[in-house]
Chain A
Amino acid sequence: MFSISLDSVKEGKVVKVLDIYGGWGIRQRLSCLGIHPGDLITVKKSGIIHGPILISIHGNHIALGRGIARKILVEEVE
């Protein structure tokens, strides 16, 4: 299993969060929405080029800008 950043994951794939780069602010923000290392994320929509992505986590949908998604390191499961 190799790790990639969340913005390069294809639509419909389930991934596991490995690490979150980025400062305190981003870490805390993501943690509030339930995104922590170890959590499972489903990528629902990967917007048009450089657009945001839509993920589903713990039954909730969240839009993440590309820049943010790039800072989330994940690995594919299955």
Chain B
Amino acid sequence: MKIALMGQPNCGKSTIFNHVAGYKAVTSNFPGKTVKYTQTKFKLFGETVELIDLPGTYSLTSFDLAELEARNYLFREKVDMVINVLDASLLGRSLELTLQLLELKLPMVLCLNMIDEAERKGIRINIEKLSSILGIPVVAVIALKGKGIEKLFTQAYNTAKDKPRGKTLSFSKDIEEIISQLSTELKNENVEIYPKLPIRFLALKYLEEDKFFIEDLIKNYPDFLKRVKYFQNVIQETRGRPSDVVISSERHYLSMHLYESVVVITDPQTSLRDNLDNILMHPLFGYISLGLIFYFFFNLIFGVGKVVEEPLLDYFYRLISLIEKSINPDTLLFSIISGIIQGLAGGVAIVLPYLFPFLFGLAILEDLGYLPRVAFLLDVFLHKIGLHGKAIIPFILGYGCTVPAIMATRILESERDRFITSVLATMIPCAARMTIIFALVAFYISPKAALAIYILNLIVIIISGRILSRILPEITPGMILEIPAYHIPSLKVVLAKTWLRMKEFIFVAWPLLILGSSLLSLLNYYQIDDLVNYIFSPLTRLLGLPLVVGTTLIFGVLRKELSMLMLFQALGTTEVIKVMSPTQIMTFTIFIVFYIPCVATIAVLWREIGGKMTLFALAFTFILAIMLATITRFTY
């Protein structure tokens, strides 16, 4: 059995999904983070159920790629059951999607999630009445606490067996008349896109001027377009507004009416939101708070990281010198063992101490719902680089990992905005590069120098943004972004999310690191690294770095952290400051921060913006890295 979770962005779908699947899908408190679907399998009454978490979509008329993905999945796949998840605290608006889903005539259960939020807002919902009007089961759920989820799936299972189809609510008489006339003509002409779409749904899509459907019509039934235009005109003439506006207003009216008949409004509890937003979104204090929050965040990472890094590194030094006593340092065996230990040490002592507090803090900010507020505050500045506020979400995610950041550009409406944001996002120092900045620059030079790198990075991104938007002058469509209520983050969810993201490092990057580190020992032992270093010598000479750094640059393309750990390996010590001057450390770090993104990033760039654009991005960042690093060499 195949069950799909469908709902508007930020309604809590992924939270429900994770309740069943274990923490697999990232949940956060801002619209648009689920940009591709996640699947899981589980047993329900002895039957295997495939559960799919689809990207959030406001309506079945789709604008951005994430929404299109959700909609097309529903059209294309054979889904036995749709669970329509609603944010009960936004019932009126959410019902509009429900009405559209009902038009699809799929077996469906309504899940009223966030009942706790709704109650806080003073919204009490008559569930039986809602269920009888729509003709489908309705289950109240508090996903965050796991309440009602079992009942939801039991209900979904039983409903899928009975296959009731729910009721379609009717629009005004004159509109219904036109829908039925158009439907009859569609039937006579045998117009279809996906074989199982109901005719009424199809008729509505044409009247709504849905781009995807109209384009298909032009391609496959060019003669029929005239008829569609004719009916659109009839509506426009009788109602005095474009037919898409008329249809959405009708639906709006229906759901508002439905909302009023099933809801009792009582006094809301005073909301934290208004008070907090008066400060956090204030034209002056908002920016001050933003600065303070990120400054505090920066210090937190460094504080935790430094306290943990030092004793752990000490421990590994002692381990290596112990081994040196028992195994002859000139043998192959010793090379391999010390390579493995260096790799282990790199992960435990250097990367994790900075990675954990960073991801933990990011998860808290995300779940709190702070990111959309940042988008609001920074919209003005993003316009200066030809983008708008929403682009800040991929950017902030980019400080975690570039891959999801590039995926998140799907929430942007225009292709140009997606391209510019993707290129700029690759330049943002991700968590891997952050560990380099902290463990090398902050640790050996000073926290101020590390902060300076972040500021320099921002300036470069702003300048690059201006250049790119000059090259591609097009007006950005402008921001339309929901600002959700604040949620108090649950420790369990925050930890689960942090773990999900750390897994990526622990299971993918770390083994690679240990492997790379032993490989480098081997190269070293057989003195092949000299050749590689020789090939890279023009670059390392230009940047004034020790020649042995050459090999480490290749590793950096695999994973950015590898560059640093290989640096230790290549230099033969973790006490970098003894062999490299502060200028060299700075130059090296700046080069690594900007130059070619890691393979995972290249792969996702290739998929999202295409091969040509990816090559452009690679060349752009590479040239930039050389320029900046050279400047650093001579000025720092």
Interface residues of A (CB under 8 A from B): 20, 24-34, 36-38, 44-45, 47-52, 54, 58-68
Contact = CB atoms under 8 A, between A and B. Distances in A.
Given A52-B376, A58-B93, A60-B93, A24 B209 contact: yes
Contact of B482 (A26, A62, A68): A62
A62 to B, nearest CB: 6
Given A32-B58, A63-B481, A27 B380 contact: no
Nearest to A58: B92
B244 A24 contact: yes
A47 B379 contact: yes
B389 interface: yes
Contacts of A37: 241, 245, 249
Interface string B262-292: 0000000000010001000111000000000
B90 A61 contact: no
Contacts of B283: 45, 47-48, 51
Contacts of A66: 478
B372 interface: yes
30 contacts: A25-B413, A26-B480, A27-B244, A27-B245, A29-B58, A30-B480, A31-B59, A31-B245, A31-B249, A32-B58, A32-B59, A32-B61, A32-B96, A34-B92, A36-B249, A37-B241, A45-B281, A49-B380, A50-B383, A51-B376, A52-B376, A54-B277, A54-B483, A58-B90, A60-B482, A62-B480, A63-B379, A63-B479, A63-B483, A68-B480
A6 to B, nearest CB: 12
A63 B478 contact: no
A31 B252 contact: yes
Contacts of A62: 480-483
Contacts of A61: 273, 277, 482-485
Given A60-B482, A64-B480, A65-B389, A52 B96 contact: no
Among A27, A30, A63, the one with the most B-chain Cβ atoms within 10 Å of its Cβ is A63
A45 B475 CA distance: 24
Contacts of B484: 61
A32 to B, nearest CB: 4
Contacts of B388: 65
B258 to A, nearest CB: 13
A37 B240 CA distance: 12
Contacts of A50: 380, 383
Contacts of A26: 477-478, 480
B63 interface: yes
Contacts of A60: 90, 93, 482
Interface string B184-224: 00000000000000000000000011010000000000000
**What 5 A-B pairs are tightest by C-beta distance, nearest first?**
A32-B58, A65-B478, A65-B479, A67-B478, A31-B248
B63 A52 contact: no
A33 B92 CA distance: 10
Nearest to A46: B283
B284 to A, nearest CB: 8
A28 B248 CA distance: 8
A36 B241 CA distance: 12
A62 B58 CA distance: 14
Contact of B93 (A27, A34, A51): A34
Contacts of B481: 62-63
Given A33-B93, A36-B249, A60-B93, A47 B376 contact: yes
B110 interface: no
B24 interface: no
B272 to A, nearest CB: 13
B208 to A, nearest CB: 8
Contacts of A45: 277, 281-283
B375 interface: yes
Interface in B43-60: 58-59
Nearest to A70: B478
B421 interface: no
Given A63-B479, A64-B479, A51 B252 contact: no
Interface string B444-482: 000000000000000000000000000000010111111
